[in-house]
Structure 1
Amino acid sequence: MTRPTSHAPTLSIPAARTRASSTPDQDQIRRAPKVLLHDHLDGGLRPGTIVELAHETGYQHLPDSDPAKLGTWFHEAADSGSLERYLETFSHTVGVMQTREALVRVAAECAEDLAADGVVYAEVRYAPEQHLEAGLTLEEIIEAVNEGFREGEHRARDDGNRIRVGALLTAMRHAARSQEIAELANRYRDDGVVGFDIAGAEAGFPPTRHLDAFEYLKRENFHFTIHAGEGFGLPSIWQALQWCGADRLGHGVRIIDDIRVADDGSVELGRLAAYVRDKRIPLELCPTSNLQTGAADSYAGHPIGLLRRLGFRATVNTDNRLMSGTSMSHEFEQLVAAFDYTLDDLLWFTVNGMKSAFIPFDERLAMINEVIKPGYAELKAEWLFR
């Protein structure tokens, strides 16, 4: 394989812009139209829903039955630095998502919660193979989640919020059902499923184990993203792009390992980093989650700041809202505080997300021109009357 660390000519980092007084406040960030491409259904449940579903389904393994304390437990366990405790959090959410009713409810509440946070378009992923314990078929699981998303969209609209949710079907890297899940994703592509994904531990489970699924999706002209460059680094990114042909990189934050910044501020892009930037390959960056997994030690030190200034196709995402105690508004708030971002910066990230979505071009363009840009223009106009 070509060494990704072979470096291209030296460039200069674009200078930080002089900021105007248009730094958005918390309320404006919440009202700003947002696009979310990387969000896990089993990582975003309401704590109260988990408690109620555990009671309804007979699930007896929750660490606490008080919703407030349970929510704190999820965040602390995910932030503990212990992989075992982090994985345990998902055993509880998946554990209560084994019936049709539970899947419909969780999906509907997901759409409602995102819409209330100002998200106008979201792609939410889940692994159907993880919800088979109570006897549901893969088809029944997909149809239940799709039904829940449509119900949540309707409820959001009744509350005065607009959102469109597409599903990404995920196959687990360590398992052997990726071909089956890919075929189901393609089968339901006109009924709420917009793409395919693989997830799970990167180390020891390279995406190349699932080449048959990716080749099938390419033959069917269907979209897919791959979790890569979160924990395993540049080889994972290289394989996802060059062997598998991913449309997007799930996380991709470790592309920073192929960028060198000198003391004088000059920057060198390695060949892989230059390829990712030149090809406009979307990076599904998840700042808070990346802090939990050690990809950065602070928001101010997160690679997203440099990647934005260098013009990568960077997008902002939540990953697991429950485990990270986050939302799209929270992610934007932290970036505004860390980098003095203005509404123009948030619009840039949002348009990047919409450009990179897995829905048809004309529908993406309509969302950008009819929803996103007018929404930000309205917020910017408020500064004229302050």
Structure 2
Amino acid sequence: MTNQPYQGGYDAYDPYGQQQQPPAQGQAWQQGYEDPQAAQQYTQQWQGQTWETQVQAPVSAAETSYVPQQAYDPQAHDPQGHEPYAAPLPPMAPAAPEAPAPASVPTDPNTAYGPATLGGNSRVTDAQRARLEGRSPVIEPGMQPAALTALLGLLLSGAAAIGTYALLVPLVLLQAVTAAGWFRLNGMWPARQGIALAFAGALTADVALLASDRAPSAILGTLGVWVLLALVLQLRSHADPDERMYGLMATVASAALSIVAAGYLAAKADAVTVGAAAVAVALLARALPLPTPASVVVSLLAAAGAGIAVGGMTDVGAEGALLGAAAAACALIGHRVASYDYPSKFVHFTAGVALPLAAAAPAVYVLGRALG
């Protein structure tokens, strides 16, 4: 052994078995690192075409964070294009991701949805915005649907005074709007099969009432048959069980409301005249710009007054106040159902028009028989 230090360096042991490079090539390579201009002739240049896109996907904060430039160590790379002997670059600390910004809520009350962006901003409906702001997610139909309800109620009232077959015209219109409005209120549109089924049940109830001399059992019998029919049709459906159950409930409720509206045809003519007129007045009073409790009280008082006035022109007399107030109370329940969860204008002009009158039909029939 010798006491002299080992002088071989990396050239003494070549793990890859490569040959020693020519002196000229090594000098040129070393000069390329010392002289940046000379290094350009050994640098590969990209000559292909490039393009730029119109829409770019959003990047996160970690992708756009600043990465410090690292010094280049020529000893760590093999001039012949092999892998580096050692990794001289220190590991980079991962950039801390930014906290996600809270979803913005539109401030414009006329905007139904928030702006749709490539960044993925969530759409906020009016009902969701109302809940975030602590408000009730209810929009009442307003004066125009109330005016249509009043017009339809006056048509029922006047047609009942004329005769049974005259009453059929506004009644069939009421039943059709009730069937369509209930499905739209439940977010099921288009639902032509369910609407047709509910409307067919209403027409069957009308025919059964005329054939049985307006016996109330015709309404109950038709209702039972149509519930069974809706159940059979939903069992034949290939939809998911939850969807079938939801469709079954909507179909049964729509058919029930449309069939129950036939109670105007089963009730006494004078009771229909008083009750429909009271509902018309109550809905107009309910649409006045008043606080909700005051509006409800005013509408009930107006309906009672209308019941007395119209009852005085019929055989009902002063008891028309009770009939009018009861019919108006049921109509206000239907009005409230049609106002739920920020419904659309189509809901207001279908369910908002028809549900008050359809809900008042049982009260008109029962109290008309009781006072009669």
TM-score under structure 2 length normalisation = 0.24
**Which is bigger in relative contact order (C-alpha 8 A, separation at least 6)?**
1
The structure where strand makes up a greater share of residues is 1
Q: Which has the larger radius of gyration?
A: 2
